[in-house]
Structure 1
């Protein structure tokens, strides 16, 4: 049964121009007319709570009804959040400072809050960490992040960061050489998704995001995603970006992606499972984990994991089924 309240809200906020552009893109890919595509998109929005970007990214125009109903669409992802993540606890992960305090011992890096540290304290931090990362407290999708090499001292930097509300300053994470070999300009992070209840945890999704031309690995900034086999800890699919393009080799380094082994992968999985038990208030979390030479470290956690990464067609098997059965089975087991 569709969530009528959700559907009505989505219709009210719909960007119909973008929807039309999406239908034109589908026409370019398939030859199907714009009007029939728009009708099908609207039907999928009602029946599967799929937005027009779901329709495009998951290639609903190629799927049967039985296949479509297995996909975690935007609406279905919202249902998981409503079920497992009560809104009154979202602040535990939305505020990056609150996150760092709660998960002290998991994130493995020094940090300061410029709302609480004066100029002298900031300069002392920079002396200890010549490479820093400045972030807004509530930024998403890599927006607002700045990488800075401070040297001995940069005049005016403290005031500049405070004026830009980039209050969170962290030491720069140096990733494992085996990860840097794939793409060195960004910290390429594992995205591990857990579902937990009653002291039990299930890992339901295992991937790595890899940068592609920028300093961040986020898909909305041009990055790509690969799946990581949970048994072997090796990349088991080509990369895929938000346009659905497949990458068997990284275009900037030439590294073959399939078969690359992620160092300390099992330790990273153990880390997020322990972390999930450390925050029982929220039961559905997407964890971003970097691998350093010494150990996995947690970058951040998301109470509203982006669902677009879950079901790229180049990552699915020949049955082209989505992840709803896997997520629902995990919830049923807990």
Structure 2
């Protein structure tokens, strides 16, 4: 909203009424309302968007009575690692209670640094890279324990082709994967890249994202961020988004299906985050991911595609 609009009390009231209406009709939060440009969308266009609430309802309908199990396994990074750790292809360890101290000290052996993530965190908040050069493993363990529950992981050695986007962060692919019996499918994917100096690529922490054609691995939009800004090039590295082909794309599609196939059948839908390491694709995490980034990037809703992909 412009300053003039904010100063116009009648306009503000009309927008508030529209936000409330959009929540009742489409389950849109105020953040989603503005992110998707609802003030400029008509009723037909609005109904095509999938809000978090609509997405959750479809997931619960598809999964049935076991939906809470699926959600719990994705909400806690330590639980997810316990069922998908083989695909991380790096060391990891839980830091949740005093019982984890000995395993943490074993994890630290041979490492100078590692990444720590709040076990139930989201949007990259609270993630930090921790050095072991000046503090003992016991001191670091006590520091983490004082701040909550974490998963700690060996750092990913990123493929140089992906590091070119932003070398301070591990830049990932959000890959939406659907399961119907023995069949697996996907829809549009997303490249997520960090900004200079940031260790995360999350849009919620200032990262930039662009939509990818999941058949070809080619980026089909400019970059966007959650503030509504559009970037033809990455702001620091100057790499052009549209037209770039993600390296090793066919390998990623096979890897995503392999990961999803290994998980309990209650996982009808997962938003995977994958990174290209020097040894190939690795799993970063799994989410009951919202469809915010594709809908912002492409300027249209994905409700129909999501519903068709997840429901039999």
TM bin, normalised by shorter chain, reads 0.7 to 0.9
Counterpart in the other structure of 1:99: 80
1:193 and 2:176 matched: yes
Deviates more, 1:282-291 or 1:107-116: 107-116
Q: Contact 1:80–1:284 (CA<8 Å) still a contact in 2? A: no
1:58 and 2:42 matched: no
Counterpart in the other structure of 2:258: 274
Counterpart CA distance in 1 for 2:19 and 2:104 is 51
Q: TM-score by structure 2 length?
A: 0.88
Instruction: Describe the shift of the 1:232–1:157 C-alpha distance in structure 2 as closer, same or farther (beyond 3 A).
Output: same
Deviates more, 1:182-191 or 1:75-84: 75-84
1:238 and 2:215 matched: no
Instruction: Describe the shift of the 1:43–1:159 C-alpha distance in structure 2 as closer, same or farther (beyond 3 A).
Output: closer
Structure 1's consecutive aligned runs of 4 or more residues displaced over 4 angstroms after TM superposition are 23-26
Q: TM-score by structure 1 length?
A: 0.83
1:288 and 2:273 matched: yes
1:88 and 2:69 matched: yes
Instruction: Describe the shift of the 1:41–1:93 C-alpha distance in structure 2 as closer, same or farther (beyond 3 A).
Output: closer
Counterpart CA distance in 2 for 1:67 and 1:142 is 31
Among 290, 299, 313, the alignment partner of 2:284 is 299
| Structure 1 unmatched runs, 5+ | 1-22
Q: Contact 1:134–1:169 (CA<8 Å) still a contact in 2? A: yes
| Structure 2 unmatched runs, 5+ | none
1:222 and 2:206 matched: yes
Q: Contact 1:182–1:253 (CA<8 Å) still a contact in 2? A: yes
Instruction: Describe the shift of the 1:237–1:151 C-alpha distance in structure 2 as closer, same or farther (beyond 3 A).
Output: same
Q: Contact 1:26–1:37 (CA<8 Å) still a contact in 2? A: no
Instruction: Describe the shift of the 1:166–1:89 C-alpha distance in structure 2 as closer, same or farther (beyond 3 A).
Output: closer
Q: How many residues align?
A: 303
SS of equivalent to 2:220: coil
SS of equivalent to 2:86: coil
